Chains A and B, each alone.
Chain A
Amino acid sequence: AQKITQTQPGMFVQEKEAVTLDCTYDTSDPSYGLFWYKQPSSGEMIFLIYQGSYDQQNATEGRYSLNFQKARKSANLVISASQLGDSAMYFCAMREAGGSQGNLIFGKGTKLSVKP
């Protein structure tokens, strides 16, 4: 079973509008971390935002926020006021207590296209 599921292979959003990228996860560990990365067409992986399983509040970083619903095991990324430069692949990832010493498990990604 997939540990990280991103159900939207591709998304379109109008410039200046908000967009939500979905991510659900599966773990039995009580302690875990959730990450979002951006991968532009140039290929590098850029860290965007982090949410810990014990964090009481949803994480925010500038125009990025994470809608963390622990009971539903979802960690959706919200990008407000989309910009053309937001066009990229977005990956959700999880770090668990067990497994490979806490290395990241990635979803398959969502390709976001921002329309002018």
Chain B
Amino acid sequence: NAGVTQTPKFQVLKTGQSMTLQCAQDMNHEYMSWYRQDPGMGLRLIHYSVGAGITDQGEVPNGYNVSRSTTEDFPLRLLSAAPSQTSVYFCASSYSLLAGGRETQYFGPGTRLLVL
């Protein structure tokens, strides 16, 4: 199993450009999430999905769009990049996110995004 894969590893954008961060998992996980990590802030949830065709917003969803057409893929779209979106983006997946459940989230290697 490749686990959770993310592409690209690093990207530089100009303000106003759009792009899609790719995320794929081969573990047949139902749950997938996108987090962003900023210095001194920990990880914050952007969007998540509990299954194909179902998505919802997290803590910091503004400026991002997601869709989940297959179990395997969960792309994150930046509609019009802003310098405030400079961050490291992590995709994660899990079998279940039931409260109290032992199932951990498996994280991808991250995408470093720089918006100029």
Binding site for B on A (CB under 8 A): 4, 29, 31-33, 35, 37, 43-45, 47, 50, 52-54, 91, 93, 95-98, 100-109
CA–CA, A86 to B46, complex, Å? 29
A52-B102, A109-B42 known; A102+B97 contact, CB < 8 A = yes
| Residues of A contacting B101 in the complex (Cβ-Cβ under 8 angstroms) | 33, 95, 102
CA–CA, A98 to B97, complex, Å? 11
Confirm or deny: B2 has a beta carbon within 8 angstroms of a beta carbon on chain A: no
A-B contact count (CB 8 A): 77
Confirm or deny: B90 has a beta carbon within 8 angstroms of a beta carbon on chain A: yes
Binding site for A on B (CB under 8 A): 31, 33, 35, 40-45, 48, 50, 56, 58-59, 88, 90, 92, 97-102, 104-107, 109-110
CA–CA, A107 to B39, complex, Å? 12
Question: Contact at A43–B40, with CB atoms within 8 Å?
Answer: no
Q: What would 21 A/B residue contacts be, using CB atoms closer than 8 Å?
A: A4-B42, A29-B99, A32-B100, A33-B99, A35-B104, A45-B92, A47-B105, A47-B106, A54-B100, A93-B43, A96-B99, A101-B56, A101-B97, A102-B99, A102-B101, A103-B45, A103-B48, A104-B92, A104-B105, A106-B42, A108-B41
Question: Contact at A103–B33, with CB atoms within 8 Å?
Answer: yes
Question: Contact at A43–B109, with CB atoms within 8 Å?
Answer: yes
Question: Contact at A53–B33, with CB atoms within 8 Å?
Answer: no
A43-B110, A44-B110, A103-B58 known; A95+B42 contact, CB < 8 A = no
Question: Contact at B100–A106, with CB atoms within 8 Å?
Answer: no
